[in-house]
C-alpha cells in the first residue's frame, strides 16, 4: 500500500494536502507526500510554491517585529488655503520625494479648534506615522473634514473660524516648522485670485475686528434705512392731510397743486425696499446652492479618482503576481532541465565505463 493509501487519490487532493501540511510545518510528512504524488505523475509544484509564498509572507511579518516597536515617523505634507478652508495633503513618507507607504490605515483624526493630531500605521511594513500640528489661528472642528486618499496619502479640509483675512502661516509661533512641510502649489494656484483679494494677518484679532466693523456698519445702515422710511411715511401722511384740506376748501392754484400729490408714494417706496430685500435673499440662496453643488461634484470626482487609483493598484498587484508566477515557472523548468541533463549525461558516462 502506498503512503497515500487508496489508488483513486487525485491531483487536487494531493495539492491541497501538501499545502496544508506545509503550513503546519510538518516537513517530513510534506517530503513523503511530494515524493508519492510525483510518483503518481501528479503536478504539485503550484501548491508547493503557493504555500511557500504564504509562509514567506508570515515570516516577513514576524521578522519585522524582531526590531521592536517601529519608530514614529512624522509624515511629509503640503498645505494651502482657499477663502474658507485650510487644505492639507499628507504623504505617508518622511520626505515628499520618496515612495509612499501603501496599506496604511488610521482610526481617525483629532481635530480641535487650535490643533490637529493624526495617527496612522502599516502593520505589514511595521511603520507608524503621527502628524501633530498646533495651528496659527482657529478653525471649526465640526465643519472640518478628512479622508484617506489613494497611493499612500490623506487629505484634510479645515474650516476657518474667521475667514475675513488670509492666513500668513499655518503653524503657531510656538511650533517650529518641520523640514518636510511644503506649499501645496496645485491648490495655491487654484485659489490664488480669491486669496489675494483678502488682507493677511498672523492672528484672528484683525479678522474679528473686521467682522465686528462690518456688523456695526450693517446695523447702522439698517437703522438709517428704518429712520428714512419712517420720515418718508410721516411726510407722506402730512402731505395726505394737506391734500385732504385742500380738497375740502380749494382757494388757489397752490392748493390745487398740493392736492395733486400722490398719497401712495410712501407705500410704493416701502414695497420697493421689500423687493430689494427679497432679491438679496434669493441671490444669497443661489450662491449657496451653487457652492454646495460644486462641493458635491468635487467630492464625487474625488471619490471616483480614488476608486480608479485603487483599481489601478489592484491591477498592478495582479500583474506583479502573474509575473512572479511566470518567473517561478521559468526557474522550475530550468531546474527540471538541468536535472534531466545531469541524469542523461550520468547514464552516458556510465556507458563509457562499461
pLDDT in tens, 113-144: 999 999 999 988 889 999 999 999 999 999 99
**What are the residues facing 105 on neighbouring strands?**
121
**Residue pLDDT, tens place only, 34-53:** 998 888 888 888 889 988 98
pLDDT at position 269 is 79
**What are the residues facing 121 on neighbouring strands?**
105, 128
Instruction: List the domain boundaries for the chain.
Output: 1-68, 72-199, 207-288, 306-354
54 CA to centre of own chain:
32
The answer, as to whether pTM is greater than 0.85, is: no
Q: Residue 82 contacts by C-beta under 8 Å, 6 or more apart in sequence?
A: 187, 190, 191, 194, 195
**Residue pLDDT, tens place only, 9-39:** 788 888 889 989 998 889 999 999 899 888 8
CATH of domain 72-199: 2.60.40.790
pLDDT at position 253 is 46
More confident position, 132 or 244 = 132
Asked if the model's pLDDT at residue 329 lies above 80, the reply is yes
From the list 232, 252, 229, the residue with the least C-alpha distance to 240 is: 232
DSSP state letters, 92-161: SSSSTTSPPPSS-EEEEEEE-SSEEEEEEEETTTTEEEEEEEEBSS-EEEEEEEEEEETTTEEEEEEEES
Amino acid at each position: 500500500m502506498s503512503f497515500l493509501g487508496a489508488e483513486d487519490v487525485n491531483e487536487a487532493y494531493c495539492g491541497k494536502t501538501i499545502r496544508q501540511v506545509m503550513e503546519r510545518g510538518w516537513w517530513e510528512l510534506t517530503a513523503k507526500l511530494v515524493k508519492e504524488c510525483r510518483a503518481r505523475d501528479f503536478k504539485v509544484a503550484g501548491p508547493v510554491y503557493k504555500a511557500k509564498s504564504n509562509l514567506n509572507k508570515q515570516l516577513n511579518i514576524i521578522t519585522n517585529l524582531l526590531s521592536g516597536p517601529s519608530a514614529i515617523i512624522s509624515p511629509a505634507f503640503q498645505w494651502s488655503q482657499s477663502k474658507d478652508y485650510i487644505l492639507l495633503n499628507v504623504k505617508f513618507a518622511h520626505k515628499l520625494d520618496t515612495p509612499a507607504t501603501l496599506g496604511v490605515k488610521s482610526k481617525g483624526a483629532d481635530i480641535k479648534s487650535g490643533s490637529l493630531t493624526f495617527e496612522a500605521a502599516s502593520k505589514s511594513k511595521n511603520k507608524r506615522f503621527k502628524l501633530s500640528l498646533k495651528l496659527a489661528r482657529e478653525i471649526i472642528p465640526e465643519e472640518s473634514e478628512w479622508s484617506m486618499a489613494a497611493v499612500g496619502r490623506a487629505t484634510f479640509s479645515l474650516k476657518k473660524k474667521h475667514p475675513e483675512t488670509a492666513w500668513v502661516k499655518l503653524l503657531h509661533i510656538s511650533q517650529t516648522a518641520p523640514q518636510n512641510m511644503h506649499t501645496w502649489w496645485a491648490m495655491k494656484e487654484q485659489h490664488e485670485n480669491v486669496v489675494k483679494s483678502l488682507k493677511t494677518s498672523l492672528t484672528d484679532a484683525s479678522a474679528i475686528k473686521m467682522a465686528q466693523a462690518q456688523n456695526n456698519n450693517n446695523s447702522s445702515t439698517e437703522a438709517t434705512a428704518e429712520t428714512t422710511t419712517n420720515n418718508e411715511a410721516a411726510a407722506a401722511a402730512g402731505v395726505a392731510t394737506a391734500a385732504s384740506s385742500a380738497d375740502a376748501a380749494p382757494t388757489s392754484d397752490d392748493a390745487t397743486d398740493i392736492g395733486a400729490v400722490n398719497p401712495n408714494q410712501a407705500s410704493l417706496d416701502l414695497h420697493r425696499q421689500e423687493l430689494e430685500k427679497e432679491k438679496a435673499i434669493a441671490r444669497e440662496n443661489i450662491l449657496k446652492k451653487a457652492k454646495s453643488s460644486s462641493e458635491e461634484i468635487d467630492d464625487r470626482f474625488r471619490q471616483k479618482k480614488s476608486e480608479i487609483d485603487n483599481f489601478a493598484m489592484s491591477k498592478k498587484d495582479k500583474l506583479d503576481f502573474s509575473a512572479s508566477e511566470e518567473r517561478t515557472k521559468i526557474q522550475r523548468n530550468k531546474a527540471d532541465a538541468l536535472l534531466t541533463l545531469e541524469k542523461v549525461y550520468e547514464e552516458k558516462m556510465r556507458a563509457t565505463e562499461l
